Amino acid sequence: MASAVYILGFLVTLWCGVLLSRAWAAGRKRLLLWSAVCFFGLALNNLLVFVDLVLLPNVDLYLLRLIVGSAAMLILLYGLIWEGQQ
């Protein structure tokens, strides 16, 4: 059951990234681009959670998951600050 939740979380964040990318392509608003990149990073983070906890339970990927999730959120934070100054 837990693996289904991890996969669902990955698919939802990936779909959000796709929708944000499509909206960015249509309107060329930079905040949509920053948000899309963030959600793709969060999708990668969710995929790493699945790999870490389900596929490779003996391998510790916690630090890698933490770095990927933090980088995704920092990209969004940078985009919010950048757009706020414009």
Within the chain, where are the H helices?
2-27, 30-50, 62-85
- Distance of alpha carbon 49 from alpha carbon 77, whole angstroms: 23
Task: Give 13-60 pLDDT, tens digit per residue.
Answer: 999 999 999 999 999 999 999 999 999 999 999 999 999 999 999 999
Res 51: pLDDT: 97
| CB neighbour list of residue 56: distance below 8 Å, 6 or more residues apart | none
Place of tokens 């693996």: 3
Total-model pTM: 0.94
Contact call for residues 10 and 47 (beta carbons, < 8 A): yes
